[in-house]
């Protein structure tokens, strides 16, 4: 057992809500020191229960009493399974957000059958692991035979209302509601007396709130009845990424071969796949051992990637985000960092993207490069699409003066002075090249 001083660790500043303990990071692992005798006894007993694996399988973050690390001053030191990337509620699709609510209710239902409940019910404590929601606030578990009204009011405010909006196909309103920073127009609007009546049906749950099992079963049925409607079809779900071989690591296509060569040589621990579509290159990176954050601004694509992660048990975290508008910091004191901080990765993949942004949408070339570099710590896999590419020519758009391979080199080389370049890929009128910039 290694005894470590509190000065040796990095405490998570947001871990301040309860006196139960504090989350800290040490040697790329996630721990929680428990300083309260009451909580120490409770969690020691809780983790010894014969049904504990059922709770973990339902969605509570996997946790053990550490057998090799002990924090000085803590009565017990817990170790949590590390979630690769923290996500914001607005970075979920309506479907994955609904899954988060189902997970929270399912965990609470199973706990209530054994004399425990959850104290918290807000979405900032639900993250994704391999496409599956995980409730990470372990010290929200408390021994009790009653669900608090505060829990229900929190769940109603942060889960029920946006899910109700999505179930009526008001997906954009739901997303903006979830984006609000603990307070905002939507949150205030739905607290008004008039609009609160819309949710009067939820008040009926209050009559059985003293019976946690019956209450949570009713709430689970309500969620089933309000499963979000499918997001309307958009452009990119039908975009034909390359047909994937039965094993994507066996691809013989020039583009994939170059990317495979780079990823196999670099062995990145983390990868960010920008505008990932349905997750083809995210899958390749995950199969090679990386934890991958995969984002796209169209929700159908993100749901496809989510299902891919679940089906193949891949370490991919699919999120909704626009490349040009990264998610800002949020929560009390802005303790949850911006997308630049949360999705910072060793290698950034930016394929099939630059021409849409810099030519069609007129994003300045230097801004495109700056955004990529703010995420990347080790290198960038970049696909340059030549102005003579058939797709670009069909747009009839003016080409920016610095839109050239030399122009991108001049910007990317400020952080990554070395580069490796593929052969020019000419296929059915396309003219593209893959460049790996690194230091």
| Four-CA torsion 34, 40, 43, 47, nearest 10 degrees | 100
Structure tokens at 400: 């920016």
Cα dihedral 138, 142, 146, 152 sign: negative
Which element (helix H / strand E) includes 375? Answer: helix 365-375
Separation of alpha carbons 7 and 128, rounded Å:
30
Supply the pLDDT for residue 197: 60
- Specify whether the backbone of 313 is left (phi greater than 0), alpha (psi in -120 to 50) or beta: left
**pLDDT at site 322:** 97
pLDDT (0 to 100) of residue 297: 94
Q: What 3 state SS string does 162-210 have? A: HHHHHHCCCHHHHHHHHHCCCCCHHHHHCCCHHHHHHHHHHHHHHHHCC
Structure token pair of residue 411: 């910007």
3-class secondary structure, 69: strand
pLDDT value of residue 204: 54
Residues 316, 270: Cα–Cα separation, whole Å:
10
Helix boundaries (H) for 229-277: 254-266
**Token pair listed for 122:** 């807000």
Helix (H, G, I), strand (E, B) or coil at 353: coil
Token output for 120: 């918290």
Angle, CA of 174, 225 and 61, to the nearest 5°: 70
Position 40 scores a pLDDT of 94
State the pairing for strand pair 63-65/418-421: unpaired
User: Could you tell me the sign of the dihedral formed by the alpha carbons of 186, 188, 194, 198, in that order?
Assistant: positive
- pLDDT score recorded for residue 233: 54
Q: Give the start-to-end residue ranges of the domains of the chain.
A: 2-80, 89-225, 236-438
Taking the C-alpha atoms of residue 139 and residue 23, their distance in angstroms, rounded to an integer, is 10
CATH class for the domain made up of 236-438: alpha beta
What pLDDT sits at residue 367? 98
Show Cβ contacts of residue 300 under 8 Å, excluding neighbours closer than 6 positions.
230, 231, 233, 234, 236, 237
Q: Residue 205: its pLDDT value, please?
A: 55
Contact predicate 200/190, CB 8 Å: no
d(CA 214, CA 208): 7
Angle ∠(262,266,267) on CA atoms, nearest 5: 115
Say which residue the tokens 């930016």 belong to.
350
128/61 Cα distance (integer angstroms)? 10
What three-state secondary structure class fits 242? coil
Pairing mode, strands 316-320 and 76-80? unpaired
Residue 20 confidence (pLDDT): 77
* Average pLDDT per 10 consecutive residues for the chain, totaling 439 residues: 87 67 91 93 96 98 96 94 96 96 98 95 94 95 91 90 91 92 84 64 57 90 89 53 66 89 97 96 97 96 96 97 95 87 98 96 97 98 95 94 96 97 83 96
* Burial tier of 243 (Cβ tally within 10 Å: 0-12, 13-18, 19+): exposed
- In whole angstroms, what is the distance from residue 69 CA to residue 65 CA? 9
CA distance 309 to 364: 33
DSSP type of residue 114: T
Vertex 243 angle, CA 238 and 249, to 5°? 130
Q: Rounded CA gap, 298 and 20, in Å?
A: 40
Three-state SS for 336?
A: strand
The per-residue b/e assignment along 389-425, b for 16 or more CB within 10 angstroms, e otherwise, is bebbeeeeeeeeeebeeebbbebbeebbeebeebeeb
Residues 6+ apart with CB under 8 A from 310: 130, 131, 132
- pTM summary value: 0.92
């Amino acid at each position: 057992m290694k005894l470590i001083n509190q000065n040796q660790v990095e405490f998570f500043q947001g871990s301040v809500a309860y006196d139960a303990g504090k989350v800290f990071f040490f040697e790329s692992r996630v721990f929680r020191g428990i300083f309260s005798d009451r909580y120490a006894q409770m969690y020691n007993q809780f983790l010894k229960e014969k049904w504990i694996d059922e709770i973990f399988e339902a969605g509570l973050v996997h946790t053990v009493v550490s057998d090799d690390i002990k924090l000085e001053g803590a009565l017990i030191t817990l170790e949590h399974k590390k979630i690769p990337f923290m996500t914001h509620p607005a970075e979920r699709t309506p479907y994955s957000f609904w899954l988060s609510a189902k997970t929270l209710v399912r965990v609470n239902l199973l706990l209530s059958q054994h004399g425990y409940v959850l104290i918290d019910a807000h979405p900032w404590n639900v993250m994704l692991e391999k496409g599956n929601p995980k409730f990470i606030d372990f010290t929200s578990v408390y021994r009790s035979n009653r669900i608090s009204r505060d829990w229900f009011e929190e769940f109603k405010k942060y889960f029920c209302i946006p899910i109700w909006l999505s179930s009526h196909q008001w997906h954009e309103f739901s997303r903006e509601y979830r984006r609000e920073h603990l307070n905002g127009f939507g949150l205030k609007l739905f607290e008004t007396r008039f609009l609160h009546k819309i949710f009067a049906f939820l008040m009926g749950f209050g009559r059985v709130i003293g019976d946690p099992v019956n209450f949570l079963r009713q709430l689970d049925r309500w969620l089933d009845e309000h499963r979000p409607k499918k997001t309307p079809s958009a452009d990119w779900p039908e975009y034909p990424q390359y047909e994937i071989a039965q094993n994507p690591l066996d691809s013989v296509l020039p583009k994939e071969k170059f990317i495979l060569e780079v990823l196999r040589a670099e062995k990145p621990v983390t990868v960010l796949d920008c505008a990932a579509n349905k997750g083809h290159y995210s899958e390749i990176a995950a199969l090679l051992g990386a934890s991958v954050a995969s984002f796209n601004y169209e929700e159908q694509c993100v749901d496809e990637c989510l299902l891919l992660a679940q089906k193949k048990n891949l370490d991919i975290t699919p999120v909704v985000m626009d490349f040009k508008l990264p998610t800002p910091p949020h929560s009390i004191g802005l303790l949850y960092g911006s997308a630049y901080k949360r999705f910072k990765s060793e290698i950034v993949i930016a394929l099939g993207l630059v021409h849409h942004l810099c030519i069609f949408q007129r994003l300045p070339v230097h801004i495109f490069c700056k955004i990529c570099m703010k995420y990347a710590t080790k290198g960038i896999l970049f696909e340059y699409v030549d102005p003579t590419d058939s797709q670009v020519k069909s747009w009839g758009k003016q080409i920016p003066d610095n839109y050239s391979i030399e122009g991108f080199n001049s910007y990317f080389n400020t952080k990554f002075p070395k580069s490796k370049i593929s052969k020019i890929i000419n296929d059915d009128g396309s003219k593209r090249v893959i460049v790996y910039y690194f230091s």
